[in-house]
Structures are given as C-alpha cells and as structure tokens.
Amino acid sequence: MKKPLILLVSLVLMLAVSAAGCIDVGQPASNRTITDMTGAEVVIPAEIHTVVNLWPASNSVMLCMGAGDKLVGTTAFTKKLFWSQKVYPGIVDVPVATDNVEELLTLSPDLIITPQQKTAETLRAAGLPAICLMFSDYDTMKQAFTILGQAFGGEYIEKAAKWSDLVDQNTARVQAAVGSIPEDKKPVVYYIQGQSNQGLYATFSANSIMEDWTEVSGGIFASTLLNLSGTTASAEDVLALNPDVVIIGGPAQHELYEELMAAEEWKGINAVKNGRVYTNPNGLFPWERFGMESALQILFAASVIHPDLFQVDMVSEVQDFYKEFVGIELTKEEAQNMIKGYGPKGEDYT
Amino acid sequence: MRSDIAGKISGRAASSAKYRMIMVCLVILLIGIFFLSLTVGRYSIPFFDSIAILLARVFPIEPAWTQTMEAVIFNLRLPRTIAAVLIGGGLALSGAAYQSMFKNPLVSPDLLGVSSGACIGASLAILYSMGPVIIQIWAFIGGIIAVSITVAVPRLMHNSSTLMLVLSGVIVGGLMSSIMGVIKYTADADTALAEMVYWAMGSLADVKMIDLYYIAPCILAAGFVLLLFRYRLNVLSLGEEEAKTLGVDVRNVRRIIIVCATLLTASAVCLAGTIGWVGLVIPHLGRMLVGPDNRKLLPAAVILGAVFMVMIDITARCLTSAELPLSIITGLIGAPFYFYLLIRQRASIT
Amino acid sequence: MKLEVRDLGFHYPKQERMIFSDVSFGIDKGEVISILGTNGAGKSTLLNCMANLYRPIRGEILIDGRNLRDMRSKEVAKYIGYVPQVHNPAYAYSVLDFVVMGRTPYIGMFQTPKEGDYSAAEEALRCIGITHLIDKPYTEISGGERQMVTIARVLAQQPDVILLDEPTAHLDYGNQIRMTRLVRKLADSGYAVILTTHMPDHVIMLQDKVGILDHDGRFTFGKAEDILSDSLLSNLYSVDLKLVYIDEAKRDTCVPFAY
C-alpha cells in the first residue's frame, strides 16, 4: 500500500528535477553595464557576438569598423548599398530586422542597436539588451562610436578613439587653410539630399552635421540662412539665396544632378553658371551623413568649397581610411568610383 | 390672363441678368488672381518687372530682368497656378455633381473612395522606391480601382440604389484605410513613411509643365462632359425614382457622372496629393451666390473652386519658408468657413 | 384602352408572398380609377408598377397597345406622369424651375429647357391656378402647395395617363375636397387618371371606376356604384360601415356605426 505512494512521489520528484535542469536560468557567464546615448544603463553580455542593428547609419559604422560579421539583423538600405556588399559579402544573407519583440526574443542577439529611445525602452522592458545610439553631428557621433567601441571591446575601442582623432585632425587641417576667411567672403552652400529622388528641394535642416562640415570648410549652409527646421525647402527661397555651391548626396545623386542642370530656373544661379555643382562621395554610407566616412567629408567639402585654398589627394585619403578602419585595400579605381558616388565597380544606384 | 404671366416671366430674365453679372465678376476675379499668383512669391521680383516678363511673351520687350526671374515665373509659378486652377475647378465640379446626384449637400467627391485609393497607389509606389512619374500613374490607377470596387459591390448585392452605393463607399473607404495602415507600418520610418505622409498631405511644389500636358486633357474632357449633364443633374437631384418617372435613364447617367467625377478627382490627387474640403464647401458657396440650379451652379462652382485653389496655393508657398501642405490649409480655412456658411443658412436647415 | 393592365402579379425580390396577383383592368382618356384598399395592401406597389418603377413578376402593362417593358424610360415618361405621395426637397429650386423639369422627356440629353418648355410650365401653373407661386423657392411653400406644384409638373409633362399616389394623404379637410375636385377636372380635360386612396367618400365623389385591393392580394374592379356596398366596405376595413344617401349632397357617404 505504501509502495505505490512512494513510487508516485519519486516519479514526481524526478520530473521536477529534470524540469529544473531544462529551465534556462538565462544568466550568462559574466555581464557588464554600458551607458547608451540617452543615459540609460544597460546590461549586456561580456562578449558581443551577435548584433541586431535597426539603423542604416549605425549598420554602416559596424561594417566600417570591420564588425560586419557580428550582424544577425540589418536594414534594407544597408543591404542594397554596393559598398556594403564589397566590404562584407555576407551582408546579402543577413535578414532584415524589425523591432518586433517576439521575433527578437527568438533571435536572442547579444546586442540590439536602435536610433529611437522609445524602441530601446520597449525592448529593454521585454528583457532584451537594447541600446539607443542616436547621433546627429560630429560630437554626438564621437560619443556614440565610443560606446560602440566599448560594447565590442578590444580593437574596436581603439578604432573609435582613432576615428575621433581623425575628425579633429581633419578639422584642424581644413581650418588651417580656410579658417580665416571673413564671413562675407564665404560661399553659400546648398545641399540636396538624395537618399531617394525627392526633387531638388529636399535638403536637411540647420543644426545638423551638414551644417557642421559646411561651416568647418569655410562655407555658409543654406538651411541656416533659411532658418529651416524641416527637410524641405521652398524653391523660391533657395533660388533667392543664389547659392554659390551645390552639393548633391545620396544614391539618387546622379539623377538629381541631371535634373538640376536641366532646370530652367537654375540656369542663372551662381553655382550652375560657375560650374560648381558637385556630387558627394557615397561609400558604406553617404559621406555627408552619419557614417564613419563623415571624417573624410570634412576634407572633401573643403576641397570643393574652396578648391583654390585647399587641395587634397582624396584617393589616397580614402585608401588610408579603408586600410585603417575597415581593414581592406582599395584600388585607385575603386576609390575614384566611391568619390564619384558609384559602387566599387562603377555601378550606379539609379 | 396672358399679361399676368408675361409679368412673371421677368422674374426669370432678371435672375439671368444677375447671374451674368456674377459670372463676369468671377471670371475677372479668376484672371486677376491668376496673374497675382504669377507675380508673388518668396523670390522677390519687382512688380513691373513681372508684368514686363509676361508681356514679353507677346510683345518684343528688351529684357531688363534676370533669366532666373523669368524662369521662376514660367517654370515654377506658372505650372503650379495652372494646376491649381484645374484642380480647384475639377474638385468643385465633382463635388457639386455628387451633391446633386446623391441628393445630399453633405457629400464630397471622395464619397466613393477615389482619394483613399489614390493614396494607396502612391504609397505603394513610394514603398517600392519608384520615381515621381510612376507615383503619379499608380495614384491615378489606385483611385480608379477603388471606385470600381465601390461600384461593383451594389451589383453583387443586386441593389443599385443610391443608398447602397454610399454604404459601399463607406465600406471600401474603411478597407482602404486599413490597407493604408499596413503599408505605412511596413514602410521605413525614416524615408518611405515620411515621403508617404508628405505626399498625402498635398503639395503643388513638384508640378512641372510636362505633368500638365498629360493630365490637363483628362481634367478638361471629364469636366466638359459633366457640364453637358448639368440639366440632368437637376432632375437627378429630385431623387432616383422621380427622375426615372421623368424619363431620365438613371443607371446610365449615374455611371457617366461617376466616371467623370472619378477621373477629375483622381487627376487632381495624382498631381497634388489629397486635398479635402474644396469639393464640399465650394458648391455650397456657389449655391449661396447663384442658387441650386446646376445650369448656373456648375460653371460658377468651377470658377470659384479655381479661385479658391489658387489662393490656397499662394498662401501655401508664401506664408513660411517651409511650404505648408495644401490639405492643412484647406482644412484650416475650409472647416470654419463651412461652419460660417451653415450659420448663414440655419433658417433653411430643418 | 389607353392603359391596360393584364394579369399583373408582383412580389418583392427574394420574397415568396405575392403582394397582388391576377390584376386586370383598363382605363381610357377621361376616366378616373380609384384604387381602394387598406394600409399595406399594395396599392402604392401596384401604382409603382404602372409608373415603370418596379418590374412586375407576372403579367403585362400596355400603353396604347405597347408593352411597358419594351419601352425606354424617356418614352414611358411621355405617356405616363407620376405624382408621388411625398416629395422631400433637397435643393431650393424655384417653382417654375421645378415645374419645367416635367419637360425632361422632351429635352435632349445635353440640352436645357427652351422657351417652349417654359411656356408649357407656365400654362400648367395657370391650369392649376397657382401662378402666384411661380418664383418662390419650392422649399418655402406649404406641403399642400407643393403637392399642387408637383401636379403642375406632371401637367407640363403632357402625358396621357396621370398616376397619383394617395394625393389627399397629407392635406387638410378642405384641401382634400379641392384635390378630389381637381382630379375630376383633370379627367374631364382628357387625362386618364389613376389614384390610390383609402377614403371611400372620395371614391364616391369621383363618380367613376374603382379597384379594390384586399390584404390577400385580390383585385375587384368595376364601377363604383356597382362595387361599393356596406358588406364590401365593412369586410375590407374590418369595421361596421354603412353607405348612407345624403340628399343635400346628392350622393352616398360612408359612415361607421355602432361603436
């Protein structure tokens, strides 16, 4: 009579013990804490092997640092860039990630990077290691890249520091040549944003990285003059400024260049009359925006805004940069293609 | 006996004379505001220079102005103004036609879902990174498809009454909104989504003359046909059954009106995004000025709509440096104005 | 026979119950037929079939020997005019503009009324005696006046047959009498008039034919003096009714008795 009872109890105990063994306690060997751009303290694993990155700019930074193989979730924009495919061919197999909590829990990456504070908070609340890495000008970029370097550890900490130094060095070089130009002699620089073809009046707001590199390079940013807080300018306002230089960036730059040169209302504008309409280099990310190549943008911008005061061998600067940070050798042709806004083999985005 | 009727006839002649005067004033107003639109803008052109530029197209005048000024007037302002005239007139005409056909002064041209459908078409094009021309084409097709669905439902239900058509429009409109939600959700928040929202809010900033070459014939043809049916619309506004007993082929006339109104509205939307209130409010204003008789109302509504739209466009592009979306201005002006009209008419609303 | 109805039967789509069946009668110019029945018997439905608004399930309607089914709306409208029981105006057309819409069957698809159409409209208003209303918005006149204006519209249509759906339903007592006299006058002017009513007295006043539609859908037709009787009316309305001859009026009147 007691035997069946003992059998039952031991059966239950066995089940309990084995079930306990199956329970994932979820505590990795060792953790550490980092602070993200919003000041939140986030617990992340000691070593980061898998990353889901929800922001195109940040993806390009990871590829630029040579950390592309850590990506298990990326963005569509990143995948379509020809330079992404050259630097990290495996990018074509990395799936496009969403901020769907359940999917991410299944994927269970070591780190999730997002530009939105709200997303980071939601994901953290679900127990995911998410950090917000929003950056919008050189200072915040230095901070953000430092945090990224810390997260990946080892050589990445060095690379982040080197990048900050490079920005300072390039700024100093350029300022040496153009720093003393009086305000009234500075050319008005109008920037056309060409992530996709949204017309000639898609630009960027004042108080942005575009304003930064323009001013460092001795120019006056058009959006600053217009007090523009949005990203679309009024056609007549822009024409009234009579810009001296036009810089067109992004994958749609060549299409937009043709459009601008064909537009009747631009024919009488200084930049067109004097042949000072330029396309912007476009590598792992459009240089003029928030990728790591923005360190090179300072040099490029100065060379087109004040070609008589500042000259630079852009090809060798690109080759050095890629050797140092990405870890690959670029041929002269590939570098020239990037500077002209094409893919490594001269591919066009449009 | 005949003499007291002869005296009564003069009531009709007097109101005809009054109508002629009103129309003459409206046409003069339209011409005036058309030229105003060409001469004002954020790119300042001295008034006499702009007159000279316009006259120079007809008379030989020595250019004392810059090429940019001329291009601003003919390449930037002229296409927008013509588009505003076509769109304002077209939307007002569709609105007036629907208000008669559905025997309901609270109806707008979007009743059968053409704007929602056009939005979906455009948003899909934006989602797949299509250029501006494709976006327009898909917007147009989207509008046509939406109305086709709305019109097919009553046939499936074997109930072709006006009420069924309206209900169908409500259902299809709701469906379109949900589909729109899905599209917006899938879109990249930084680029595609912003573009979709901006497109939907309405803008004439990107209208070029070449767009008008394709779309103007469509608007003019559809508008002309609607005007041909002005008397039948009067009879339709008595109600479907009475119209039938008076010998109107209700089914076919309705079909033609719907096709024309849909073409008008789809054309307007594909040029400039969604613009609300014009089709609802302008017919009311027209009725206050010239009465509900469509023989008088439709032409008046066309001119009033055109004048209104040109004024809105001038406001949109001159008020602030960032161009205000059209539907916001039409809403801010339209809704209180509608309220004002209703107060004026409160006596006759039961 | 100007208008002839043969073996007409109707039920609503997807329903089984016949509203009426085997309805047959004919009318000539100058005649009046009153269709008498209870609420919901199907009088308006029968009238709507004759107005070409509903399609009958069985039987046919012939105008001047031609089947209504084979004619287009525009043609039917030149023969048959219809005055609905109630008209809810949406827009404030003037009385003249409203009446001239009766000329629509004669106005081309893309055309507008001409002087001749306006003359016909004015003539119709004169006929009814309401020319003083000619320029008023028809939303600002009384219900009774609007009814008269609608009849004027039908007259402007110059049909052979006039159909009226319960023309006295919304009128005061005096206007009811005047309306009944107007119907008689229209018939005397040469129109074939068919109206629906549920006032036996009006049928008697019109001194012509009557069709009784009961709630089983049966139709009895003949001269009023032959058909109307105490028992028929009492059965029809399920109330004790008696026809009493009034010497001063020189006619019968229908009176309920014994509460």
How many angstroms away from the CA of A81 is the closest CA of chain B? Answer: 14
Residue in A56, A227, A265 nearest the CB of B68: A265
How many angstroms away from the CA of C144 is the closest CA of chain B? Answer: 18
User: Tens of pLDDT along A191-204?
Assistant: 999 888 888 999 99
Of A146, A264, C178, A74, nearest to B53 by C-alpha is: A264
The confidence score (pLDDT) of residue A269 equals 94
Contact B321 A237 (CB under 8 A): yes
Domains of chain A and any CATH numbers: 31-134 (3.40.50.1980), 161-339 (3.40.50.1980)
Write the ipTM.
0.91
The confidence score (pLDDT) of residue C39 equals 82
DSSP C5-54: EEEEEE--TT--S-SEEEEEEEE-TT-EEEEEE-TTSSHHHHHHHHTTSS
The model carries a pTM of 0.85
The confidence score (pLDDT) of residue C77 equals 95
Chain B residues near residue A266 by CB distance under 8 angstroms = 71
Instruction: Specify the number of domains making up chain C.
Output: 1
Flag whether pLDDT at B347 surpasses 60: no
Is-contact A248 A279, C-beta < 8 A?
Answer: yes
CB pairs under 8 A between A and B: 73
Tell me what the mean pLDDT of segment C213-223 comes to. 87
For A331, A334, A340, B25, the CA distances from A345, given in Å and listed in that order, are: 10, 7, 12, 65
Question: Per mean pLDDT, which range of A155-164, A238-247, B278-287, B339-348 is the poorest?
Answer: B339-348
Contact B67 A236 (CB under 8 A): no
Instruction: Band the pLDDT of A12: cuts 50, 70, 90.
Output: low
Flag whether pLDDT at A26 surpasses 60: no
- Its sign, for the CA torsion C123, C125, C128, C133, is negative
Cα-based torsion angle of the residue sequence B181, B183, B189, B194 in order, rounded to the nearest 10 degrees:
-90
Tell me what the mean pLDDT of segment C240-246 comes to. 90
**B:12-51 residues touching chain C, CB 8 A cutoff:** 12
The confidence score (pLDDT) of residue A59 equals 92
Chain C residues near residue B228 by CB distance under 8 angstroms = 109-110
The confidence score (pLDDT) of residue C146 equals 92
Instruction: Band the pLDDT of B3: cuts 50, 70, 90.
Output: very low
A266 or B196: which leads in pLDDT: A266
**Tokens describing residue C11:** 């039920």
Q: How many CB atoms are closer than 10 A to CB A164?
A: 19
User: Tens of pLDDT along B212-263?
Assistant: 999 999 999 999 999 999 999 999 999 999 999 999 999 999 999 999 999 9
Which residue on chain B is closest to A272 by alpha carbon? B68
Give, for B2, the enclosing helix (H) or strand (E): helix B2-39
Chain B residues near residue C72 by CB distance under 8 angstroms = 249
Question: How do strand A71-73 and strand A277-279 relate by DSSP bridges?
Answer: unpaired
**B295 vs C: CB within 8 A:** yes
Give, for C4, the enclosing helix (H) or strand (E): strand C3-10
The confidence score (pLDDT) of residue B348 equals 55
The confidence score (pLDDT) of residue C42 equals 87
| Domain residue ranges of chain B, discontinuous segments joined by + | 79-348
The confidence score (pLDDT) of residue A21 equals 47
Is-contact B276 B286, C-beta < 8 A?
Answer: no
**CATH number for region B79-348:** 1.10.3470.10
% of chain B beyond a pLDDT of 70: 95
Which residue on chain C is closest to B228 by alpha carbon? C110
Flag whether pLDDT at B298 surpasses 70: yes
Residue in B158, B232, B238 nearest the CB of C109: B232
Contact C53 B245 (CB under 8 A): yes
Domain span including residue C150: 87-159
The answer to whether residue C151 sits within a structural domain is yes
**3+ Cβ–Cβ pairs closer than 8 Å linking A and C:** no
Best interface-test mutation with B: which of A116, A190, A223, A264 has the largest number of B CBs within 10 A? A264
The answer to whether residue C182 sits within a structural domain is no
**B232 vs C: CB within 8 A:** yes
Residue in B12, B241, B247 nearest the CB of C77: B247
Contact C131 B105 (CB under 8 A): no
Which residue on chain B is closest to A195 by alpha carbon? B191
The confidence score (pLDDT) of residue A2 equals 60
Q: Report the C-alpha gap between B245 and B33 in whole angstroms.
A: 44
* Residue whose entry in the numeric block shows the structure tokens 């007409």: C8
CB-hemisphere CA count at 13 Å for A234?
26
**Tokens describing residue C239:** 């109330």
Position B269: which residue type? V
The answer to whether residue C149 sits within a structural domain is yes
Contact C112 B249 (CB under 8 A): no
**B235 vs C: CB within 8 A:** yes
The answer to whether residue C121 sits within a structural domain is yes
Neighboring chains of A (3 or more beta-carbon pairs < 8 A)? B
**B182 vs A: CB within 8 A:** no
Contact A264 B323 (CB under 8 A): no
The confidence score (pLDDT) of residue C15 equals 84
Flag whether pLDDT at A63 surpasses 80: yes
Best interface-test mutation with C: which of B238, B254, B295, B349 has the largest number of C CBs within 10 A? B238
Flag whether pLDDT at A141 surpasses 70: yes
User: Tens of pLDDT along C85-136?
Assistant: 988 898 999 999 999 999 999 999 999 999 999 999 999 999 998 989 899 9
B62 or C31: which leads in pLDDT: C31
Of C164, C127, C134, nearest to C147 by C-alpha is: C164
The confidence score (pLDDT) of residue B8 equals 54
Is-contact B91 B305, C-beta < 8 A?
Answer: yes
Of C243, C199, C242, C198, nearest to C225 by C-alpha is: C243
User: Tens of pLDDT along B45-64?
Assistant: 888 888 888 888 888 888 88
Contact B8 C135 (CB under 8 A): yes
Flag whether pLDDT at B304 surpasses 90: yes
The answer to whether residue C70 sits within a structural domain is no
Neighboring chains of B (3 or more beta-carbon pairs < 8 A)? A, C
Q: Report the C-alpha gap between B267 and B216 in whole angstroms.
A: 8
Contact A197 B195 (CB under 8 A): no
Flag whether pLDDT at B9 surpasses 70: no
For A175, A322, B117, the CA distances from A168, given in Å and listed in that order, are: 10, 18, 52
How many angstroms away from the CA of B249 is the closest CA of chain C? Answer: 6
